[in-house]
Amino acid sequence: MSVEEMDEDFKYFFHDKGFGPAIHTEPVSASEIKNYSGKLPDQLLRYWDLYGWSGYAEGMFWTVNPAHYEPVVQAWLAGTGFLDEEDHHAIARGAFGEIYLWGEKSGQNLTISAPQSMIFPRDQREKIKAGKGDFLVRMFFSNRDKKKIDEKDFLEQPLFDRAAEKLGPLAPDEMYGFQPALALGGQADLKFLHKVKAIEHLVLLAQLHPPRIMTDIVALAKEKGLMK
């Protein structure tokens, strides 16, 4: 992955914010890219073509094949009404089960925090209509923050490095999961973390507790005239 082929936003994500080097890169075929043409922004498909689906920050953050995560999307959005509005595709995930969805009409509009059973909406429909999908993809990567992606324990201490040291690094199909799950009263503590299969565990978490739909704070601020 050469510096020369990176745009400024991906370079900022990869180098300046410390998400590089990439690990466990899976090349994306031309047919897979074609399958999502018109559904996902061209900029994201270019990233797939250049960098594949990969792990970053030693496995803290992963870009993913949306087809593999369709069961996860269906499980989490069932009964929420979001599936009735548009098609959603998982484009990335964190090591502890944060899932980033792209809505075909409204951009990177949903972030699922699976351990806490929360869905955070953010409607970017106006920007998508204005043809800014590629810009939103670049901003998605450049805005990633390892401190925010890392899960914290009950003492508000980051867990990723300690989990990796105790349990070993993650494979592309793995995540760190709490057992018992937080939704069942488990505690956010290193001693309750295990390496688990990501897709199976995320589907299971969706079935344990109905997700809470959180407030879109950007939309609320606009509604109250606090921002344009």
Give per-residue pLDDT as tens, 107-135.
Answer: 999 999 999 999 999 989 999 999 999 99
Distance CA 176, CA 164 (A): 9
Predicted local distance difference test score (pLDDT) of residue 53: 98
Distance CA 91, CA 107 (A): 11
Question: What phi and psi values does residue 78 have, to the nearest 5 degrees?
Answer: -60, 130
Report the pLDDT averaged over residues 33-49: 97
Per-residue pLDDT band at 5 (split at 50, 70, 90) = confident
Q: What is the pLDDT of residues 139-192, one digit of tens each?
A: 999 999 999 999 999 999 999 999 999 999 999 999 999 999 998 999 999 999
Distance CA 87, CA 186 (A): 33
Helix or strand (DSSP H, E) at 137 = helix 133-142
Question: What phi and psi values does residue 108 have, to the nearest 5 degrees?
Answer: -75, 80
Question: What phi and psi values does residue 15 have, to the nearest 5 degrees?
Answer: -100, -60
